[in-house]
Amino acid sequence: MRELVLVLGDQLSFASPALADFEPEQDRVLMIEASGEATAVWSHKARIAMFLSAMRHFANGVAARSWPFDYVQLDDPGPSEMAGRLRAALKRHRPKTLRVVEPGEWRILQIIEDACKKEGISLKLLDDTHFMCSRHEFVQWAKAKKELRLEFFYRLMRRQYQVLMDGAEPVGGQWNFDAENRSAYPKRTGPGDIPPPAWFEPDPVTREVLALVEKHFPDHPGSLDQFGWPVNREQALHALAVFIKHRLAQFGTYQDAMWTDTPVGWHSLLSAALNLHLLDPREVITAAETAYREGRVSLESAEGFIRQILGWREFIRGMYWLDMPGLKEANHFAHQRTLPDWFWTGQTQMACMRDSLKQTLALGYAHHIQRLMVIGNFATLAELSPQQVADWFLAIYVDAIEWVELPNTAGMALHACGNRFTSKPYVASGAYISRQSNYCAGCRYDPAQRTGDSACPYTTLYWHFIAKHEKTLAGNPRTALMAKNLHRLSSEERAGIAQRAAGMLKHLDAL
């Protein structure tokens, strides 16, 4: 055999460079399901099902081409870990070369390199052309920069790919409409009727996978009852079309809005399809830009959406490879507290957290502001261990793959890398959540109270955080005001906050 072509579970595209020179006479495709991948972190059932169903749909496409194919199923005998299964496949086929696109996780790269070394097989590792900025290009960009900030990278990508550009200038004369992307839903009427996203009745392949997941991982968190994610290219394209036609128009305005029992708002729900390569980022960006150019959506919405994909998604991926493996250990604030049990059940008295966690367990999904400003914000304020928090985020979302999860969690949400990704920590008191949502109206806590029994944990712990890091915050122009505001509080109040915060931090499980 010339080449054994390994297609990983997050590389499900026939445009993959791994398959570019495929010759059925002398090559073979290899795909591996491994239960160890579902237990490396205690994965949500929907996350496991998403990967397995999408892999099996892709496998049907390989089979339809009548290519030589080795598909290792979850309950096949032999080792259950990826490493053991890969080595067994190399032994079975003894190819001259293992050909694979660079994986989305540093750990998997180590496994592949190690297996090839131990089996004496040469490894051909290919650039992942799904991404619009290669790892090498990102390193070159980062080398020339004093500070690694999204905004500069995003402008470069806009210019390079001529996205939303009028020649050398951004369309509309402005690079960024972030300030227009922060509205809350109207407090009196709420979100109103939001057109639903595309959601798919499980087909026989998915139904078989759902049963398999229930059988093998019965005690894993989350539910499969509402599973309707796009699991093949046709469904992913349909989901994209529905989003562009019905939901993109209001995406920009309500990007940061939250409301009880409104789990998806105007968001696209395309992250899992993108991350498994069922969609190409270029076609998603083109669809959004075309909708703007044809006058179907505003520039604010199109730009706000494109920024997430051409900007954030590529930036985050570049940062992951730039900072691994150290990123996994990053802990700027030396936070060590254990994750409260209610992260896995949603049984907390904090209404914002309860709503975000309950929908996470039901769907494997929460939108960005819930992840960043409800869950991540709490984790920072409650001084939770970044490693435990990152493992939780990796386990619990259908779109979670380490290259995108870890920089978002450690780098963005927890400020575990200091100012490397952002110029200030993303921390906020209950006042922010109260402004952006209706959560507080139905909560046992009061966002305006810093002390006392009904003090909102976000508010108390926010002021505790500011007091603890006062000197550093005062020295940074982006956070100086936060530190200054502390001086508006009397010394009694500061003592009260310190006391209440100590009680909360000691009994996080009871919040």
Ligand X SMILES: Cc1cc2nc3c(=O)[nH]c(=O)nc-3n(C[C@H](O)[C@H](O)[C@H](O)COP(=O)(O)OP(=O)(O)OC[C@H]3O[C@@H](n4cnc5c(N)ncnc54)[C@H](O)[C@@H]3O)c2cc1C
Residues lying near ligand X in the complex (CB under 6 A) are found at 267-271, 274-275, 305, 308-309, 312-313, 316, 367-368, 371-372, 376, 393, 397, 399-400, 404-405, 408-409, 412-413
For residues 22 and 51, which CB has a smaller minimum distance to ligand X in the complex? 51
Contacts of 385 (CB under 8 A, 6+ apart): 331, 335, 336, 337, 338, 339
355, interface contact from ligand X, ligand SF4, none, CB < 5-8 Å by kind:
none
Work out what residue 456 binds among ligand SF4, ligand X, none; the CB cut-off runs from 5 to 8 Å by kind. Answer: ligand SF4
232 binds, among ligand X, ligand SF4, none (CB under 5 to 8 A by kind): none
CA gap 17, 22 in Å, rounded: 9
Question: Which CB, 121 or 461, lies closer to ligand SF4?
Answer: 461
Helix ranges restricted to H, 124-270? 135-143, 150-161, 204-216, 233-242, 248-251
Residues of this chain, 189-228, that bind ligand SF4 according to CB under 6 A? none
Cα 316 to Cα 417: distance, rounded to the nearest angstrom: 13
How would you classify the pairing of strands 122-126 and 165-166? unpaired
- Residue 243 backbone phi and psi in degrees, to 5: -65, -50
Contacted entry of ligand X, ligand SF4, none for residue 220, CB cut-off 5 to 8 Å set by kind: none
Note if the bond before 407 is cis, omega within 30 degrees.
no
460 binds ligand SF4 (CB under 6 A): no
Residue 445 interacts with ligand SF4 (CB under 6 A)?
yes
In the list ligand SF4, ligand X, none, the entry touching 399 (Cβ below 5 to 8 angstroms by class) is ligand X
Shortest gap between Cβ of 259 and ligand SF4 (angstroms)? 12
Buried (b) or exposed (e) across 263-279, using 16+ Cβ within 10 A?
bbbbbbbbbbbbbbbbb
Interatomic CA distance for residues 54 and 327, integer angstroms:
29
Sheet arrangement for strand 97-101 = 69-72, 27-32, 3-6, 97-101, 122-126
**Of residues 286 and 449, the one with the C-beta less far from ligand SF4:** 449
Q: Is 433 in the site for ligand SF4 (CB under 6 A)?
A: yes
Per the rule left: phi > 0, alpha: psi between -120 and 50, beta: everything else, 167 is left
Least distance from ligand SF4 to the Cβ atom of residue 163, Å = 37
Q: Does 259 bind ligand SF4 (CB under 6 A)?
A: no
Pick between residue 288 and residue 482 the one whose CB is nearest to ligand X.
288
**In this complex, which beta carbon is closest to ligand X, that of residue 385 or of residue 451?**
385
For binding to ligand SF4 (CB under 6 A), which residues are involved?
350-352, 430, 433-434, 439-440, 443, 445-447, 456-458
